[in-house]
Amino acid sequence: MLPNELRSYKRARADVCEQGPLIKLIDRVLLSKNNEVFWEPRPPVGVESVVDPESIVPGGPTDRVADATTPEQLFSSFFPDNLIDMIVLTTNEKASDIRQKIGTANREKATFSDTNLTEMRCFIGCHIMAGIRKDNHLNTTQMWSDTYGGFFYKSLFSQKRFEFSI
């Protein structure tokens, strides 16, 4: 029996569910909604269904990721210090330009100070975590609120510092 001939999980799980018809076996080519993609009912003949590991070109962080034993090492595999140093340098140049435009009373506040390697790692990690938590649709006010953001973002930055860093 083919997988698409089985009843769905919800239909097959208990007697209280009414048993419906089997899922149809599609035996023809389908055209996508935009009329550009053809969906075949079976894999093409002569095409491997699994990628041969030997065919993967070496490079990137793959070798270093295998040796990573801590979250910090894994992060550094994708974001090496020299890359983050370049980001810090550029960010600090932009921050300096912005500081020249704001009032003298605010220039000395920590919110508008230069960033460093550790803070930039936190900043990048914060964005990654926002994606993991599916918070990427929230604005910064919601991210820093007790209702939506909780304490994660507050433990890394003040809201104003985060907004300045963006």
Residue pLDDT, tens place only, 132-159: 888 878 888 888 888 777 788 888 888 8
Amino acid identity, residue 103? G
pTM, to two decimals: 0.57
CA dist 49 and 23 (Å) reads 24
Q: In a 3-state reduction of DSSP, which class is residue 21? A: coil
Give the model's confidence band at 4: pLDDT under 50 very low, under 70 low, under 90 confident, else very high: very low
Contact 164, 112 (CB under 8 A): yes
Mean pLDDT score, 71-76: 87
**Which of 55-64, 87-96, 125-134, 139-148 bottoms out in mean pLDDT, i.e. has the lowest?**
55-64
Give the model's confidence band at 82: pLDDT under 50 very low, under 70 low, under 90 confident, else very high: very high
Give the residue extent of every domain in the chain. 78-165
- What pLDDT, on a 0 to 100 scale, did the predictor assign at position 5? 47
List, in order, residues 6 or more apart from 156 with CB less than 8 Å away: 122, 123, 126, 162
**CA dihedral defined by 72, 75, 77, 78, rounded to 10 degrees?**
-170
Most confident of 35-39, 46-50, 68-72: 68-72
